[in-house]
């Protein structure tokens, strides 16, 4: 029993994580439900094989690990996690530690943490982002549970995490499901970021008649400016890749129906529970759902016609797409961080917003240069909406006109840009001191005697003398 850590689930993520852990010098014991997978994994581990102990049973895995034990689960979220915890309970001591590194719904993590607190073994829920490549070479890691349990495995987790200027992209978020909650919001932002890029691509493709190659060149250029990010980088690469068979751009032959595993939806559902406005994320989830309605969209096009062939020359300037995306991105992240903040009171957390921005700078899918600036703004004033931080306010002042132009041109010509539209609506709402909820309150008082506040007097329960 010399292994310092164990891992269950040698699928895409688990296998890469195990190699990463072994490479950082830790002895690791591994188990997979299907034994042949464990064997193949170990045979292909090359120089790292000596650090890895392949186990054919859970019992053997447990015995291979030094006490107090720590075992990472990398199996699909939901029942498989509960099954593995139940199986491990038979062999683990109360002070052993189970670490769920999959994409658990944070409510499940809360429940598992509460169960663990009663009877052990101990439990930590960690959000791991970065996909297969991140798991192998350095993911971003957001941990939740008991601080002492995090501290116990922090040496391993910070060693395998991505590093930004030497700082590990791994951190402790708080108790219970907080790590998985932060990971879910990360994924929600990821959906929104991807959708806005896709919408801008759509305007360039359908409105500006740019080829996939031209779009790819544009993305590559933006990747050298304020939008520098993994998602812009890979969007450029996707757009520039040709299908080896037909020679056509890959983008032109990929069906416009997007998959999802549900973490974006969880974010939106949770945002609704928290009354946290994340309209850009909501639009992104909606867009993925509508993307599945291929037949209906065809019917709609036959019935109503599609957008015109091209925008009139000069409708949009070459810089508008980039500038609109800068504004949209700031507004989307502002919403995401506000959502994180709004979870603190109801869940009794104290989510470290500046640290979350620091963690997201590398390793994860939404890693970007802008997150470094966001970390700075959140460190300066943790309670301030990012859109009001001087650096981002200045960018918004310069670029909201481009976002407005993009959305209005798209509306005029019939191009769908739901996420960008929501970003703009959020911006306009958040810079309007006198909004229109006075009418809502008038209506509510009219039909339900709900009462309203007045601008000219103190008090909360005024009623109208409504004209009949």
Classify residue 44 by its DSSP letter.
T
Q: Which is nearer to ligand NDP, 103 or 421 (CB)?
A: 103
Q: Which of 175, 183, 270, 338 is catalytic?
A: 183
- As measured in angstroms, the least distance from the Cβ of 316 to ligand NDP is 35
Q: Which of 146, 175, 190, 329 is catalytic?
A: 190
- As measured in angstroms, the least distance from the Cβ of 281 to ligand NDP is 18
- Do the bridges between strand 163-164 and strand 167-168 make them parallel or antiparallel, or are there none, so unpaired? antiparallel
* R_g of the chain, CA atoms, integer Å: 25
Interaction pattern, residues 309-338, with ligand NDP; x per rule: CB under 6 A? ------------------------------
From 110, 120, 44, 66, select the one nearest 88 (Cα to Cα).
120
Interaction pattern, residues 186-215, with ligand NDP; x per rule: CB under 6 A? ------------------------------
The answer to whether the beta carbons of residues 277 and 283 sit under 8 Å apart is no
- # of chain residues touching ligand NDP (CB under 6 A): 23
- As measured in angstroms, the least distance from the Cβ of 297 to ligand NDP is 28
Query: Of residues 30, 62, 74, 227, which one binds ligand NDP by CB under 6 A?
Result: 74
Torsion region of 86: left, alpha or beta (phi above 0 gives left; psi -120 to 50 gives alpha): alpha
For residue 277, the tally of other CB atoms under 10 A from its CB is 18
Interaction pattern, residues 4-43, with ligand NDP; x per rule: CB under 6 A? -----xxxxxx-----------------xxx--x------
Q: Which is nearer to ligand NDP, 141 or 324 (CB)?
A: 141
Q: For residue 254, give both structure tokens.
A: 């990929």
Contact window for ligand NDP (CB under 6 A) among 79-87, 224-232, 234-242, 409-417: 79-87
Tally of residues, the chain: 468
Determine the Cα–Cα distance for residues 214 and 113; give it in Å rounded to an integer.
50
The answer to whether the beta carbons of residues 100 and 125 sit under 8 Å apart is yes
Determine the Cα–Cα distance for residues 123 and 371; give it in Å rounded to an integer.
30
Query: Of residues 3, 4, 53, 84, which one binds ligand NDP by CB under 6 A?
Result: 84
- As measured in angstroms, the least distance from the Cβ of 29 to ligand NDP is 15
Determine the Cα–Cα distance for residues 194 and 287; give it in Å rounded to an integer.
11
- As measured in angstroms, the least distance from the Cβ of 87 to ligand NDP is 8
The answer to whether the beta carbons of residues 75 and 84 sit under 8 Å apart is yes
Contact window for ligand NDP (CB under 6 A) among 72-80, 108-116, 190-198, 418-426: 72-80
Burial 101-137 (b: 16+ CB within 10 A, else e): bbbbbbebbbbbbeebeeebbbbbbbbbbbbeebbbe
Q: Which is nearer to ligand NDP, 82 or 372 (CB)?
A: 82
- Do the bridges between strand 122-129 and strand 140-144 make them parallel or antiparallel, or are there none, so unpaired? antiparallel
305 three-class SS: coil
Is residue 80 part of the contact set for ligand NDP (CB under 6 A)? yes
- As measured in angstroms, the least distance from the Cβ of 73 to ligand NDP is 8
Q: Which is nearer to ligand NDP, 14 or 264 (CB)?
A: 14
Q: Considering only residues 117 through 156, tell me which ones interact with ligand NDP, judged by CB under 6 A.
A: 128-129, 131-132
- Residue 190 known to be catalytic: yes
From 45, 88, 41, 60, select the one nearest 3 (Cα to Cα).
60
Determine the Cα–Cα distance for residues 141 and 48; give it in Å rounded to an integer.
23
- Residue 195 known to be catalytic: no
Strands (E), 17-138: 28-31, 52-55, 70-73, 97-100, 122-129
User: Which residue has the closest beta carbon to ligand NDP?
Assistant: 11
Is residue 44 part of the contact set for ligand NDP (CB under 6 A)? no
From first CA to last CA, the distance across the chain in angstroms is 82
Q: Which is nearer to ligand NDP, 364 or 395 (CB)?
A: 364
Q: Which is nearer to ligand NDP, 39 or 221 (CB)?
A: 39
Query: Of residues 52, 75, 126, 285, which one binds ligand NDP by CB under 6 A?
Result: 75
Q: Which is nearer to ligand NDP, 234 or 430 (CB)?
A: 234
On the CB side of 122, CA atoms within 13 Å amount to 20
The answer to whether the beta carbons of residues 77 and 10 sit under 8 Å apart is no
Q: Beta partners for 123?
A: 98
- As measured in angstroms, the least distance from the Cβ of 314 to ligand NDP is 42
- As measured in angstroms, the least distance from the Cβ of 136 to ligand NDP is 11
For residue 47, the tally of other CB atoms under 10 A from its CB is 8
Q: Considering only residues 366 through 385, tell me which ones interact with ligand NDP, judged by CB under 6 A.
A: none
Q: Which is nearer to ligand NDP, 263 or 342 (CB)?
A: 263
Q: Which is nearer to ligand NDP, 14 or 352 (CB)?
A: 14
Positions in the binding site for ligand NDP (CB under 6 A):
9-14, 32-34, 37, 74-77, 80, 83-84, 102-103, 128-129, 131-132
* Active-site residue set: 183, 190
């Amino acid at each position: 029993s010399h292994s310092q850590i164990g891992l269950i689930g040698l699928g895409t993520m688990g296998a890469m994580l195990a190699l990463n852990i072994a490479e950082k010098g830790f002895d690791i014991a591994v188990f997979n439900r299907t034994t042949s997978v464990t064997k193949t994994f170990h045979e292909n581990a090359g120089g790292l094989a000596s650090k890895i102990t392949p186990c054919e049973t859970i019992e053997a895995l447990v015995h291979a690990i030094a006490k107090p034990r720590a075992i990472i689960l990398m199996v699909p979220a939901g029942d498989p996690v509960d099954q593995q915890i139940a199986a491990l309970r038979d062999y683990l001591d109360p002070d052993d530690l189970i670490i769920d590194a999959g994409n658990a719904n944070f409510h499940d993590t809360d429940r598992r943490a509460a169960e663990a607190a009663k009877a052990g073994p101990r439990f930590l829920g960690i959000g791991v982002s970065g996909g297969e490549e991140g798991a192998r070479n350095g993911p971003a890691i957001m941990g939740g549970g008991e601080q002492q349990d995090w501290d116990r495995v922090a040496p391993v987790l910070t060693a395998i995490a991505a590093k930004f200027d030497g700082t590990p992209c791994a951190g402790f978020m708080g108790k219970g499901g907080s790590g998985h909650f932060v990971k879910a919001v990360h994924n929600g932002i990821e959906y929104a970021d991807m959708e806005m890029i896709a919408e801008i691509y759509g305007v360039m493709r359908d409105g500006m008649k740019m080829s996939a190659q031209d779009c790819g060149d544009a993305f590559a250029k933006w990747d050298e400016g304020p939008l520098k990010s993994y998602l812009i980088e890979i969007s450029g690469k996707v757009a520039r890749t040709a299908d080896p068979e037909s020679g056509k751009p890959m983008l032109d032959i990929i069906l416009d129906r997007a998959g999802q595993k549900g973490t974006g939806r969880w974010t939106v559902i949770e945002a609704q529970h928290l009354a946290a406005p994340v309209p850009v994320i909501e639009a992104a989830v909606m867009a993925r759902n509508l993307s599945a309605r291929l037949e209906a969209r065809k019917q709609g096009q036959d019935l109503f016609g599609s957008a015109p062939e091209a925008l009139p020359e000069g409708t949009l300037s070459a810089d508008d797409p980039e500038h609109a995306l800068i504004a949209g991105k700031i507004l989307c992240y502002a919403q995401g961080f506000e959502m994180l903040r709004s979870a603190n009171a109801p869940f009794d957390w104290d989510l470290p917003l500046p640290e979350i921005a620091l963690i997201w700078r590398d390793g994860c899918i939404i890693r970007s240069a802008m997150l470094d600036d966001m970390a700075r703004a959140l460190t300066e004033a943790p309670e301030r909406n990012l859109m009001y931080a001087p650096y981002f306010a200045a960018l918004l002042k310069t670029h909201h006109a481009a976002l407005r132009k993009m959305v209005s041109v798209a509306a005029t010509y019939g191009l769908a840009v739901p996420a960008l539209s929501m970003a703009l609506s959020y911006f306009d709402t958040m810079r309007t001191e006198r909004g229109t909820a006075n009418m809502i309150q008038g209506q509510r008082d009219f039909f339900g005697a709900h009462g309203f506040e007045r601008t000219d007097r103190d008090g909360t329960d005024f009623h109208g003398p409504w004209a009949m």
